Structure 1
Amino acid sequence: MKKKVLSAGLVVFTTCVSLILLWAVLVLTNLPDVSILRHYRPAAAAEVIDRDGNIIAQYYDHKFRIWVPISGLPDAVIQAIVTAEDDTFFGHQGINYKATWDAFVLDVKKQRFARGGSTITQQMIKNVFLSREKTLGRKLREFILAREAEKILTKHQILEIYLNEVEWGEDIYGIEAASRYYLDKHASELTAPEAALIAGMLPNPLYFNPFKRMEKARGRQERVLFNMFQARLLTEGEYRSALASPIKLRNESSGRFVFSAIIAGNGKTCYQKVLESVLLSEYGELGLYRQGLKIRSTLDKKLQQHLTAWVDQEKVKETGKESGPYLPDSVMVVSEEGEIRAIVCSSNEEEVRFKLESLGPPFDGYDISSVFPDSISADEVVRTGGGGSQESGVKSEE
């Protein structure tokens, strides 16, 4: 009888081990090739620049991202991110085993996935290769790939991919997009308290959104700053100064960067739709929405904003509704010496002329003509500039 029990137990044990091994083989079959990370570049938005270097339009598909090299980021950004997300980052080989064990114990107690315990390397792997599903299979793949990534990439290469890939809110991806969206500045301009605010959002950027929950965001910022102080990354004076530093969030109406019209297919102003149509004919969706083009135009942001706001006001007066993202039958083109300075979604030349005259010099001397949006050819709009970047100049001279 005893032998039968032992025999049955051995069969059960062997079966369980075999099933576990089979599961592991299936999970680890067809793992992604981490070597592509050596030259990895995620999809990035195209930016249209006016003649003075101001951004007047941004086009992307699903994710708004502007790639930035880690070499252009302040030390405070790196320190805040590592302190907030993985303070052992520079000491491990992809896995923090203690944090993983602590997370496992907590998950067992809570009987759910209560804590992740993932390193920055693991998060980078998940963001690039894997889904967000919380399963043991995905976690195992994440472990293996993180270890492999650490063998072929430097810590700064891993950080660079992570900082450009991670989500910072709805449609906002990467440190540059986050800096522009929340603080109206380039990531290269972030101070220590600003970097701590941005880094503190990462556990849950929707919940810690400073536009909606500044008190919660501030609490996270203070925690990151304290940890930076404890790690001797900030002196006591710098720490206290950072705590007292006010945070100035982006103002949509007066910000440097355009965000009311960045979502592909939604929310664009009329002139941005016209410009988008022309650029699509040249670059296609892949080029315009994913390849991070910098497109220089001859448009004048100040004039364009004046005329767009005026058209919107007139539209509200006539219909009670604001103008939407549509392609009109015809537009008025305002130009100076053959270069287009603004695209006006109005067919009333007399009213456009009156508006220009009310703005005074030099706008009152500009030429006006009516054109069909689809008559503006790519040859008229786009020219190739030096250094591999793309420049667009509507009616520009070669």
Structure 2
Amino acid sequence: MKKNLLVFLGALAACCLAVLAWILIVINSLPDVSLLKQYRPDAAAEVFDREDRILTQYYERKFRIRIPITNLPDMVIHAVTTAEDDTFFDHGGVNYRATWEALLHDVRQRRFARGGSTITQQMIKNVFLSREKTINRKIREYVLARRAEEILSKRRILEIYLNEVEWGENIYGIEAASRAYFDKHASELSAAEAALLAGMLPNPRFFDPLKRLDKAKARQDRVLFNMFQAKLLTEDEYGAAQTAPLALRTGSSGRFDLSALAGRNGRPCYQKILEQILLDSYSDHALYRQGIKVRTTLDKDLQERLCSWMREEHDNGGTAADHVAAAVRPPILVVKEGGQIRAIVCVRNAEAARLLLDSLNPREREYEVEEVLFSSIMMDDIIVSVETVGDGQELQTGR
């Protein structure tokens, strides 16, 4: 009997040492959280017209526009923390009570059904870790979250989270979400709009207000009520937010062009031409991931009007234009004013060019229209400047 007890205790000790060794290996292989101090997530390039109005964006897989937390209204912060982590400003990275409740729930369900993750843990997962639901990842998440809280302010953690988190298919970060769902900057969000976006976060594709408005509204109501209960909204503010109409955007056109979300083939040809001109001088990484700002000589009103005219001609069976540039490049017309390019259109033939000229108002006849080869459009003909976000310095060619 005594011998069996010793064998059992030895086996137990060996198991404990093995688990401890495994935990130490996991901890020692963790990434350096101090990198978060200067961390900047990938972001889309933004292209502007001559009056600084956004024409389009270029990105790889994730549509994201970086925004500093100083540009966000308090209501956005309140809505997100209320919806996702109401103890965010009190805990040190991990909410142990929520973790214990989630663990008990998972044991009863016999699967990973609830996460119990704080905003800090979610930020860590989004930046450093995978989405796999394993004990290994959870331990790494806990340790990194604690370390992050030791070196970062709460506002910095929120800033990274709000720029990283998914808000729908290919939509990442609060600024991209605000443009995609409300056609406005995140700095302009109301309490009602912030609550709707915050309510989407547990499952943004399921709670997409453009597809399931009733589900999204139910989540919004819950967030607003919790904000009122936490005294983050006055009674008057709560009532106004409950009844405020939601001006959701429809389609890709609007103040912010979102044709990029439809995929490359859904873009007007002038956007493809601009993309190729930029790629001839800048690396893929610079264009699709560094959040550069490109200013052009184009006129948004004229460009959009001509694109709209071409679509109508095409839909009506006319000979005018190819809205989507084909593999074999169609003829290109540039519309100039005072020698500067104001619009680029792709047409099928000379007849289409004549129709295009006829579509201009008499007072616009000072525009010059030329048929050109794609290879003849130089970067200096249309690009005024290319700047990085924040420091305003020119990027170096990556080719």
Which range, TM-score by smaller chain?
Answer: over 0.9
Unaligned stretches of 5+ in structure 2?
395-399
Report what 1:324 is aligned to: 324
Which shifted more, 92-101 or 5-14?
Answer: 5-14
C-alpha change, 1:65 and 1:338, in structure 2 (3 Å) is same
Matched-pair contact (CA < 8 Å) for 1:295–1:390:
no
Residues 171-209 of structure 1: CA distance to partner in whole angstroms, max 9, x if unpaired? 100000000000111000001011000000000000000
Report what 1:395 is aligned to: none
Correspondence list, 1:124-143, <5 A: 124-143=123-142
Taking the aligned partners of 1:357 and 1:318, their CA distance within structure 2 comes to 14
Matched-pair contact (CA < 8 Å) for 2:331–2:349:
no
Which shifted more, 128-137 or 381-390?
Answer: 381-390
Which shifted more, 305-314 or 273-282?
Answer: 305-314
Report what 1:188 is aligned to: 187
C-alpha change, 1:185 and 1:128, in structure 2 (3 Å) is same
Report what 1:357 is aligned to: 358
Query: How far did 1:42 drift?
Result: 0.6
Correspondence list, 1:138-287, <5 A: 138-252=137-251, 255-262=254-261, 265-287=264-286
Residues 267-313 of structure 1: CA distance to partner in whole angstroms, max 9, x if unpaired? 22211111110011122211111111111111112221222233334
C-alpha change, 1:303 and 1:173, in structure 2 (3 Å) is same
C-alpha change, 1:115 and 1:292, in structure 2 (3 Å) is same
Alignment RMSD: 2.2
Matched-pair contact (CA < 8 Å) for 1:62–1:263:
no
Report what 1:371 is aligned to: 372
Aligned residues: percent identity?
57
Taking the aligned partners of 2:126 and 2:216, their CA distance within structure 1 comes to 23
C-alpha change, 1:87 and 1:281, in structure 2 (3 Å) is same
- Amino acid of the residue matched to residue 4 of structure 2? V
Report what 2:397 is aligned to: none
Which shifted more, 277-286 or 175-184?
Answer: 277-286
**What TM-score, normalized by structure 2, do the two folds share?**
0.92
Matched-pair contact (CA < 8 Å) for 2:209–2:216:
yes
Matched-pair contact (CA < 8 Å) for 1:60–1:263:
no
Taking the aligned partners of 1:340 and 1:353, their CA distance within structure 2 comes to 18
Kindly tell me the number of residue pairs found equivalent between the two proteins: 390
Taking the aligned partners of 1:97 and 1:168, their CA distance within structure 2 comes to 27
Report what 1:343 is aligned to: 344
**What TM-score, normalized by structure 1, do the two folds share?**
0.92
Report what 2:28 is aligned to: 29
Query: How far did 1:246 drift?
Result: 1.0
- Amino acid of the residue matched to residue 338 of structure 2? E
Which shifted more, 176-185 or 378-387?
Answer: 378-387
Residues 61-93 of structure 1: CA distance to partner in whole angstroms, max 9, x if unpaired? 111110001001101000000100101001111
Taking the aligned partners of 1:15 and 1:283, their CA distance within structure 2 comes to 57
Query: How far did 1:326 drift?
Result: 3.4
Taking the aligned partners of 1:362 and 1:195, their CA distance within structure 2 comes to 44
Query: How far did 1:388 drift?
Result: 4.7
Matched-pair contact (CA < 8 Å) for 1:49–1:57:
yes
Matched-pair contact (CA < 8 Å) for 2:297–2:382:
no
Which shifted more, 134-143 or 346-355?
Answer: 346-355
C-alpha change, 1:170 and 1:65, in structure 2 (3 Å) is same
C-alpha change, 1:230 and 1:121, in structure 2 (3 Å) is same
Report what 1:19 is aligned to: 18
Taking the aligned partners of 2:17 and 2:353, their CA distance within structure 1 comes to 78
Query: How far did 1:149 drift?
Result: 0.6
Query: How far did 1:379 drift?
Result: 3.2
Taking the aligned partners of 1:183 and 1:93, their CA distance within structure 2 comes to 34
Taking the aligned partners of 2:206 and 2:332, their CA distance within structure 1 comes to 42
Which shifted more, 120-129 or 292-301?
Answer: 292-301
Unaligned stretches of 5+ in structure 1?
392-398
Question: Is the partner of 2:260 in helix, strand or coil?
Answer: coil
C-alpha change, 1:379 and 1:359, in structure 2 (3 Å) is closer
Taking the aligned partners of 1:15 and 1:81, their CA distance within structure 2 comes to 45
Taking the aligned partners of 1:244 and 1:167, their CA distance within structure 2 comes to 27
Question: Is the partner of 1:43 in helix, strand or coil?
Answer: coil
Residues 325-361 of structure 1: CA distance to partner in whole angstroms, max 9, x if unpaired? 5361431111111111111101534533443333314
Query: How far did 1:264 drift?
Result: 6.1
Taking the aligned partners of 1:154 and 1:200, their CA distance within structure 2 comes to 24
Taking the aligned partners of 1:352 and 1:293, their CA distance within structure 2 comes to 34
Matched-pair contact (CA < 8 Å) for 2:322–2:347:
no
Which shifted more, 205-214 or 352-361?
Answer: 352-361
C-alpha change, 1:325 and 1:44, in structure 2 (3 Å) is farther
